[in-house]
Amino acid sequence: MGAFLSVIVAAVFVNNFVVVQFLGICPFLGVSKSTSNAFGMGVAVTFVMTITCLITYPIYTYLLVPLKLEYLEIIVFIFVIAALVQMIEMVLKKFSPTLYKAMGIYLPLITTNCAVLGVAELVIDSAQMMSLLGIASMNMGIAVLYGFFAGLGFTLAIVVMSGLREKIAALPINKHLKGFPIAMITACFMAMAFYVFSLI
Amino acid sequence: MKTNFKKIAMDGVITSNPTLKLVLGTCPTLALTTLAMNGIGMGAAVTFVLICSNVFVSLLRNVIPDKVRIPAFVLIIATFVTIVRLVLDKFLPTIYESLGLYLPLIVVNCIILARAESFASKNGVLASAADGLFMGIGFTLALTIMGASREILGAGSIFGVHLWDFKIEFFAKSAGAFFTYGTFIAVFGFVSYLLHKRKKIKSFKLSRLPEAAKEEN
């Protein structure tokens, strides 16, 4: 239970993927214009991140390591993710058209989302994961759990950001600050808020 | 067709600077600018991958079918990232350690895929190599300057050389990364606007959010 809780707190708040680890900044800035879009993107990313961990962790641990092919991890992972996203898209289209309608447009963008490849690379580094989460051993359950809650942390950040940006859109802002600069400075304040979690 | 190398150089470093004007590859920029040295390490790695992937994409641009071009580009990029990773791990372990997770993530760095898609797949080998080189230089310069300013303010040193004991913790933290990046984009945009008004540089566009560019992916 203790490990379970520490994974949740570490993944969602202390090491939030977006504002602390800087993974998935592109969708964080690009798809955060409206809250509903941001939420859709967050759900899609969470979904893909969980399944990515479920597939890449065993591939690395039970296939690449015994065969001494660790150096192929980048190529294998990126293709697993690309194929996975394509497959999820097809399955959703066939079996759940409503969910496909809600998530479909975000799915193609996810292949090149560094949060997904980032989580795949992060969970296989057991030494770093153990120090990050303060746990004694690493296994597949924790990898998948971390993937899910890291995705949840991403969703939290992108939804909060979209809310802030909807407010900012109504303000008169100098044209040189409009767009990226003001979004970055908004994110700066969010990062300050998240910094508090690392102090407890 | 005569290749305009001066324009490619100008585009890569100033008018379409990948970091400050196109705002691509934001993740490593935010994460690694705590130290100026990281900027040079990451910049060199990205420049190498950019040149190699641009050359290969350009060479194979008539062979790769249009439908599978994105997976093909990604395979080319992933190959060169693996090479960089193995070489750094063997010969420069300190840089390998400091870049950490962001080294394999060069694969999904939007700068490289964007240049493969929008430049290398339409231009000759020499022009593509030049584009890779100057885009890489633009990226390296932006990262190093931002890294230097964050290192001076946040750690009181530059390139690891201690300057003074005065430091503002804010700039070493993640909030400082967003703040510095935002400020740099704004200042860079403003300066290039002024230069454009005085007819020093020809093209000028405001940095915008990448909705339009991302939708075609």
Q: What is the mean pLDDT of residues B62-88?
A: 88
pLDDT of B165 strictly over 90:
no
pLDDT at residue A104, rounded to an integer: 66
pLDDT at residue A93, rounded to an integer: 82
Q: What is the mean pLDDT of residues A90-99?
A: 81
Among B28, B11, B1, which residue's Cα sits nearest to residue B126? B1
pLDDT at residue B204, rounded to an integer: 58
Distance CA A8, CA B150 (A): 31
List the single residue in A73, A118, A177 with the smallest CB-CB distance to B105. Answer: A118
Tokens 């992108």 sit at which residue? A158
Per-residue pLDDT band at B63 (split at 50, 70, 90): confident
pLDDT of B216 strictly over 70:
no
Contacts of B109 in chain A (CB under 8 A): 114
A132 touches chain B (CB under 8 A): no
Q: Are A192 and A61 in contact (CB under 8 A)?
A: no
Distance CA A48, CA A54 (A): 10
Tell me whether 0.90 is exceeded by the ipTM: no
Name the residue with higher pLDDT: A34 or A1: A34
Residues contacting B23, CB < 8 A, separation 6+: A29, A180, B185, B207, B210
The partner residues of B157 in beta bridges, in order of sequence, read B162
Residues 132-171 of chain B with CB under 8 A from chain A are none
Domain ranges within chain B, ordered by starting residue: 5-160+168-215
Phi-psi region of A68 (alpha: psi -120 to 50; beta: other; left: phi over 0): left
Q: Give pLDDT tens digits for A101-153.
A: 766 667 777 877 888 888 888 888 877 777 777 777 778 888 888 889 999 99
Per-residue pLDDT band at B48 (split at 50, 70, 90): very high
Distance CA B197, CA B167 (A): 37
B61 touches chain A (CB under 8 A): no
Q: What is the mean pLDDT of residues B24-48?
A: 88
Q: Give pLDDT tens digits for A12-53.
A: 888 888 888 888 888 888 788 888 888 888 888 898 899 999
Q: What is the mean pLDDT of residues B15-43?
A: 85
User: Mean pLDDT, chain A, as a whole number?
Assistant: 84
Distance CA B74, CA B116 (A): 10
pLDDT at residue A32, rounded to an integer: 80
Per-residue pLDDT band at B200 (split at 50, 70, 90): low
* Longest Cα–Cα distance in chain B: 58
Residues 137-166 of chain A with CB under 8 A from chain B are none
Percent of chain A with pLDDT over 70: 98
Per-residue pLDDT band at B217 (split at 50, 70, 90): very low
Contacts of A74 in chain B (CB under 8 A): 78, 81-82, 85, 104, 107
Report CA torsion sign: A180, A185, A186, A190: positive
Query: Phi, psi at residue B182, to the nearest 5°?
Result: -60, -45
Terminus-to-terminus CA distance in chain A, angstroms? Answer: 19
pLDDT at residue B80, rounded to an integer: 93
In terms of average pLDDT, the best of A107-116, B134-143, B205-214 is B134-143
pLDDT of B135 strictly over 80:
yes
What is the three-state SS of chain B?
Answer: CCCCHHHHHHHHHHHCCCCCCCCCCHHHHHHHCCCHHHHHHHHHHHHHHHHHHHHHHHHCCCCCCHHHHHHHHHHHHHHHHHHHHHHHHHHCHHHHHHHHHHCHHHHHCHHHHHHHHHHHCCCCHHHHHHHHHHHHHHHHHHHHHHHHHHHHHHHCEECCEECCCCCCHHHHCHHHHHHHHHHHHHHHHHHHHHHHHCCCCCCCCCCCCCHHHHHCC
